[in-house]
Structure formats: C-alpha cells, structure tokens
Structure 1
Amino acid sequence: MSNANEMLKSFLKENKDHHYNFEEEINYKVSSGSLNVDFELNGGFGPGLHRFTGMNEGGKTSEALEVMKNFLKMPHSRGLYIKAEGRLSKEMQERSGVEFATAEDDWSDGNCFVFESNIYETVLDLMRALVGDNENKTKYCFILDSLDGLIMKEDLKKDFQDAHKVAGGALLGAKFMQKMSIALAKRGHMAIFISQVRADIKLDPYSKAPVRQTTATGGNALLHFANYILEFEPRFKKDLILEHSTQPIDKDKNKILGHSAKITVKKSPNEKTNYTLQYPIRYGRTGGNSIWIEKELIDMLYGWEYIKKRGAWISSDESFLELLKENGFDFPEKVQGEGKLSVIFEEDKKLTSFLASYFKKIICE
C-alpha cells in the first residue's frame, strides 16, 4: 500500500464524523403512481431531493402525496408532511390514501406526521434530528409544502414595514440543502420540495430575458441539488376527459370524468429533460386511487400490441390471453368499446393489480 493510501486511510478515520464514505449507500425506486411517468423515470423516484413546481391546481401536492403513499409501503418507513402554507384539506387527505397523524404518539411506521410550522430553523432542526439520530434505520419521506412558505425567526419578529431578506427563498433553499443533501441521499431518505412559480418583472419590455431552467422560486442552488425537477403545467379545457370526447360538456348527458395532468421534466438523471409527460386523473376517487391506472393500462396494452381495435370492437392477442390464463385470469377475446374494457379493469381489482405489476416489472428492468 502506497504512502498516499495510508494517509487517506488515516485522514478518513480521523474525520469520520465529517464525511459519509464509511456508510452504505441505500437505493430504491418509489413509483409515481402512474405507469406512463414510471416508464420515463426508469421506475420512479430514488433517494435524495426532488422538486415539484408549477401553477396552482396543477397537481403538485397530490402527486407528492402519491409518492409518499408508495414510499410508506417500504418496511421501516415514515412520512413527514411540513405544512408551511396551511393547506392540507380533509378532501385531499382522503384522496391521497396516506394515513396521517397529528399527535406525536400516533406517528408510527407506515404513516405520516403533519408538522405545522413555517419557521425555517425549526423545520431544519427537526429534519436534521430525524436523519442524524436514527438508530432504528428508519427511512423518511419529507414533503415541504411549500419552500415559499418558510420564514426565518428574525424576519418573523419584524413589523410589516421593516425590511426582510431579499431573495429569502433562494437563500433558505441553498442553506437547507447544504446541510442536508448528502445525508438524505446516502442514507436512503427522500425529500420533495414544492415550489410556486415566479414571474419576472421587466422594466424594459424589449430586453432579452435570461435563460432559466424553470420558473420556480428558490434560486439556482436547488436546481443543482435536485435529482428530478418536475414542472406541473396549467390545466386547460382540452385536457378534460369526458364521457363522450367528441361532444360538448353537459352536466347530465356528458359529464367530466377527469383530466389529463401534464408535467415537463426540467431536470433528470436519465436524459428525459424537456420531455412532457401526461397521466390521467379520475374524479371522485379516494384512498390513493385518483390516478386512472385502468386508462393507462389500456394505452399500455395498445402499445405492446396485446389488444387491437377494429371498428367498435377490441380484440385480444393470443399471447395476452395465454399470459392471463397462466396467472388464473379469464378474459374475453373481444370487447365492444374502450368503455366496457375500462369497466372490466375497474371491477376486477386483482386483474388490474396484476397487469400494473407486470408492466412495472418490465419498466424497471
């Protein structure tokens, strides 16, 4: 062994409290809840920081809670929802499928504690304590909703007419991740930071706009710390999913069934940057079932040529029927219309679960 190796070995040992080289790296993939999104993200989200940005009602919080729900399926896992904006309605909780706890004694593996604070130092201290003092090797999923809601203690004490920090969100975000980023990723924890959009104020309307990776608040530092940055696009009338797609909306004769959510990948580790992804949302569902997985399955079956449409009829490929038969499922050779095909999947939860797992296995390989 060379002198340099001996020096490095001694240095690492003497400074073991200030680096992570002796710790085993933990890796996993947590599903987004959508087959389409999982396919493009190579199976879902891994440890570390992810940012969800975009317009209001774009689906940021709902998708963050969907990831949380799937994260909590892992053994020895807990969630922490940091309620920094005061928004987590009862309806959203019911739709999410996440079990929430508001009393410290009710927090346990598999559920999520709601921490109601927007004080930067308090939030950071709690996260550092959980990640740093973790003898039980618990994996944590943190949702910060939102970064823009945080305020420092010294600013909290100021009167409204007093000056506050300029670019406070950027400063807080940078300081936050300087203290937490390596520990989060190395030790298998996940953090999802939700951010609002920012508008640039231009004094000269003819001046050239600076190139920005995303419209989110929080400064450039968080762009570098994040693994994935997903920007949730605004929803338009054309994104609505109706009972009859070619007919106008009618509350009695042609109801709105859901909508197509759209996200643009602003940063990714798997060369998907600038891709726009879509996934369907079904209205009226609770328990973490809002993502319309049945509709995605039909699209997947078309894509893999397991089913083909001829006129009004949808026929099943022999290999698909054989796959289902081998796993104990009966399936019709022909179905009249996508509506009836969707009903089959919605009524047979075991079949839907099997096909979803089948495609996810293919996606993750």
Structure 2
Amino acid sequence: MIELGISTFGETTPLEGSGEVFSHAERIRQLVAEIELADQVGLDVYGIGEHHREDFAVSAPEIVLAAGAVNTKHIRLTSAVTVLSSADPVRVYQQFASIDALSNSRAEIMAGRGSFIESFPLFGYDLKDYEALFDEKLAMLLETRRAPQLTWQGQLAQTVAGKDVYPRSVQETLPIWVATGGNVESTIKIAQLGLPIVYAIIGGNPMYFKRLINAYHQVGEQAGHKKGDLKVGAHSWGFIADSQEEAVAKYFYPTKQTVDGIAKTRPHWSEMTYAQYEQAIGPDGAMIVGDPDHVARKIIALIESLGLDRFMLHLPLGSMPHEEVLKAIRLYGEEVAPKVRAYFANNR
C-alpha cells in the first residue's frame, strides 16, 4: 500500500502582503491542528523536522508529535528529521516510545545527519565528527531498540554498562527510517543496515534518484535483507489549491522567503528567481504545485518512476496564512490521495 503524508518544518517567514511573522508558539499550535486535520482526511503519516534557527519553529519535534497523538486515531507520527548526530540516542528512543504509548503504536523515528548544522555547536559537538557521530549514534539507537538492557562502549557517545531503558515502545519494533539528501555513501550504509530510506527530493530532476534507489535495493538484498523491509520514501516541496493558477501564484513568495533565508547561510545556495521557480514546478522539476488533478498526476508519476513506498508532501515550504495550509491539507486528503491510491490499487 502506498503511504501518503505531509512533512513540515514549521516555517516562520514573513507572510506576503502584511509581512506578519507567526510567533514560534502560534506556529507550534498550528502544527497540532494540522496533524489533527491530516488524520481526519485520511492521510497516512505526518512528519516534523528539527531545526534550531529563527525561521523554523520546531526544535523538539517529539513534543509536538506527542501533542498531535492525543486527538488522532490513525495517522502515523514521525520526525522529519531527528538530528541524531547531536542527540542522545537513548533519550530519542525514550521520547518516541512515549509517543508510541500516547498514540497507541503510531510513532516512528526518521533519523538524519542534519543538513542544518546549528545543533552541533549548540549541544557541544564538533563538525569534524559529522559522519562518525551519526554512524555511532545510529548504531547505538538500533541497539537501544533491540532490547531493554543496553550495553554500549562509546567513542563519541556515552558508555553504558548494562542499564535498562524504559519505557519500551508499544510496537514490537519501533520503526526507524533514515533520511538522506541523495548521497551515494549514505545510501549504501542505510541499505547494508536494512533500514527504510527517505530521500529529500527538493531540487533538480527527481529521476536522478532512480539509480540511487536501484543501488539501495541491490546492496540491501546482497546484505541479506528481505525485499519487503527495504522500503523507500521521498519528500518534496509543494502546495495545493483549487486551481493551478492560484497554487502557482500563492506558492512563489513563501518559498522564495525560505530559500533566500537559507541562501544567506549556505554558500552553495542562491536566492530564488521566478525563472528557477517555473522550472522547479514544471514537468521535470522537483516541486509539486497545482490543483488536485495536477498534483495527483505528478505524485503518481514520481511514485511509479522511482518505485516509492511512501511519499510526503512538504506542505508548504514557507509561511502562508494558516487557513490556506489547512485547505491544502483537506484537498490533499480528500481529492489527491484517493486518486493516487486508486491508481496504484489498479496498477500494482
């Protein structure tokens, strides 16, 4: 079954026209309302990313997910991502096991290295250990998940000598996905571990990821993992409105605000032009923006071309009036998702 969901970073960039900026507190409350609506309209998963900067409201996704667990019944709740390199793996497990309890077995962890690096100096980690931190902490998280009693000889993480870790998840095995931006070495490592993988498809031609996904399956199966365990997800930026013209017009400004803000701190990023935007929302672009029919067709094409098991629409990338975000979620759940599910029910 194809899983369809939403990812968000809780953006707090200025709104078009008024220049209003949502407070972090207001944006966090909005996210809880979004989770509840996504559940009501039948979406499968809702993910929240971790950041430590002014233009994103959420530094602790697990807290917001816990709040969203209480009044929902079906939707799966995941980070998108937990920056595991600068976190304590034991605490991460405990937090998501607690969400699993609140949601009655709907919690997941999506672990990542962190494309945003603000958390490293904030929590006392050296960027020279960027790769080693993630590899060790992922291994420690997997060992914590394996059994209640943890023994771990730490190198960059702490050493633990036979200590119990509670609470345990309601699910027998708490799902752990690993996110990557498309790095070949990361793909191989994740495949060798047999963990589900999520690609951030946010620029260029999405078909670039086809060879990575093929390699993921090949390496994973060679390592002895079952094909059914080698799941592939993707997340892409996008927005849905009643008409194609409305969606395209409304999505440019907030997206540009976020991209331009990131460009100030990343040398390899540049401010977004309208020409770049048009290319990104075009047939071969990574953004999925339009009316429900257009969005459904583009999601179907992406899932089918790449062989995805899960797709998450980052909805939206920048700050928009909240009533428009809620409307987009409703359109996604009530009009887009049924079309996508019907297509794959008849073609897989």
- TM-score, normalised to structure 2, is 0.37
Structure of higher CA gyration radius: 1
Structure number having the greater helix percentage: 2
